[in-house]
Amino acid sequence: MKNEYCITWNLYKSWVTANMFKGKSLFFRIFWCFLLVLMIVFGIISLNIYDVKAISIYFFLLSLLCLYNAFLRHILLAKKTYRKLSETYGKENWTRSILFENDNILLTDNNVSIKYKYSDIVDIKENGNEIFIIFNNKSFIRLYKSAFIGCDWSECKKFLKDKSTLTYQ
């Protein structure tokens, strides 16, 4: 059994943006937006005060920092990470292959391989076409229902249920 797909910038970006408005990321985005509004308001107020007009420049510079942290930082860091991965693999786009062997799961990105034990699986989550196999060290493998080769998701699900200690419906 095998699940194989090509990792492109658009796919990687979709992974990053999927979590931008969840949990801690959402909290910090709201925090930076609140500070952005606050800095703009203080900047406008300080423009109207005769003695401290120069300080308004600092408020507007701080508002740019807030704007960066709220909206741009996440995607720019993702682009940098993707560029580094592309350099490591020697290709702009590469193939990720997940092979379900008898003893373990073998994840291969280009020529780099990682083995996972079936006994380490703690949960399996489905979200539309995506499947997340979650391990006890909080890492996960992302599969796509449409990317199976030689089987389908229902066969793989049965295989995983038989191999792991997981009680998955």
pLDDT at 96: 96
Label residues 46-79 b or e (16+ Cβ within 10 Å = b).
Answer: beeeeeeeeebeebbebbeebbebbeeebeeebe
Reported as a single tens digit per residue, the pLDDT across 126-158 is 999 999 999 998 899 999 999 999 999 999 999
Which CATH architecture best describes the domain 95-163? Roll (2.30)
Reported as a single tens digit per residue, the pLDDT across 73-129 is 999 999 999 999 999 888 999 999 999 999 999 999 988 899 999 999 999 999 999
pLDDT at 146: 95
CA distance 89 to 148: 23
Tell me the residue ranges of DSSP E strands in the chain.
2-7, 94-100, 104-109, 112-117, 121-127, 130-135, 140-144, 148-149
* Parallel, antiparallel or unpaired: strands 121-127 and 130-135: antiparallel
Fill in the amino acid letter for 134.
I
pLDDT at 167: 64
The predicted model scores a pTM of: 0.80
The count of other CB atoms within 10 Å of the CB of residue 158 is 12
Reported as a single tens digit per residue, the pLDDT across 7-52 is 999 999 999 888 787 888 899 999 999 999 999 999 888 888 766 7
Q: Domain segments of the chain: what residues?
A: 2-89, 95-163
